């Protein structure tokens, strides 16, 4: 369902028309459009936005940990259309039980490192990612530092 706020937004309307089940919510806050997408549909929605709506660039992929709330993780995609200049934020909510989501590397190859970073620092797994390894931390590292239940200070035992 298209939320009231997004009724006027062209991108949200297009996503709604493309796959109405994929769009689960969204808002316009401080001039920035956020569209919430069902995790199962993220790759197809991204493909649609890139090829049909001109979002040729994936600016970044990151995540936010809402611990202890559930669903715990928000995976956030920032898309950029160069001409005309437009930006949109996609958001997928994942539970802490088994955080995994389809990779968008098939749409933008540049998602590769960003998804590796989210995997490394949040422990979200990306399905069908060509090379899902830790990128910042050593392979032997335990835990995912950007999770909220990972302490900022303290020593390892």
Partner 1 sequence: MSEQTTPLIEPAEQQGETGARSMVLNMGPQHPSTHGVLRLLIELDGENVRKCQPDIGYLHTGIEKECEAKTYPQVVTLTDRVDYLAPMSNNLCYSLAVEKLLGLEIPPQAQWMRVMLVELTRLNSHLVWLGTHAIDIGAMSVFLYCFREREDILRIFEMFSGQRMMTSYIRPGGLALEPPRGWQQRVRKFIDAFPSKVDEYEELLTNNPIWIRRTRGVGQISLEDMLDLGVTGPMLRAAGLKTDARKDEPYSSYDQFDFEVPTRTENDVYARYQVRVEEMRQSARIIKQAVEGMPSGPWKADDPHVVLPDREKMKTQMEALIYHFKIITEGFRVPEGEVYQVIESPRGELAFYVVSDGSSSPYRVFMRTPSFGNLQATGTMVAGSLIADVIASIGSMDFVLGDTDR
Residue ranges binding partner 1 (CB under 8 A): 29-30, 32, 34, 56-60, 62, 64-65, 76, 78, 80, 82-83, 85, 87, 89, 108-110, 112-114, 121, 133-140, 145-146, 150, 152-153
Pairing state of beta strands 73-81 and 57-65?
antiparallel
Shortest CB 1 distance to partner 1, Å: 22
Shortest CB 20 distance to partner 1, Å: 25
To the nearest 10°, report the CA torsion of 147, 151, 153, 154. Answer: -130
* Complex with partner 1: residue 9 or 65, whichever CB lies closer: 65
Q: What is the DSSP-derived secondary structure letter of residue 33?
A: E
Per-residue tokens: 55: 């979002």
- Which distant-in-sequence residues (6+ apart) come within 8 Å of 69 by Cβ? none
Shortest CB 138 distance to partner 1, Å: 5
Shortest CB 145 distance to partner 1, Å: 5
Pairing state of beta strands 57-65 and 86-94?
unpaired
């Amino acid at each position: 369902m298209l939320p009231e706020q997004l009724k006027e937004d062209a991108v949200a309307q297009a996503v709604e028309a493309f796959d109405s089940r994929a769009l689960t919510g969204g808002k316009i806050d401080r001039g920035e459009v956020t569209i919430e997408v069902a995790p199962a549909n993220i790759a197809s929605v991204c493909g649609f936005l890139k090829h049909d709506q001109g979002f040729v660039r994936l600016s970044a992929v990151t995540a936010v940990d809402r611990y202890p709330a559930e669903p715990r993780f928000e995976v956030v995609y920032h898309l950029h259309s160069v001409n005309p200049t437009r930006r949109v934020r996609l958001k997928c909510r994942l539970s802490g039980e088994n955080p995994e989501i389809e990779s968008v590397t098939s749409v933008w190859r540049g998602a590769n490192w960003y998804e590796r970073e989210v995997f490394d620092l949040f422990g979200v797994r990306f399905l069908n990612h060509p090379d899902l390894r830790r990128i910042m931390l050593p392979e032997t590292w335990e835990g995912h530092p950007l999770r909220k239940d990972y302490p900022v200070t303290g020593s390892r035992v």
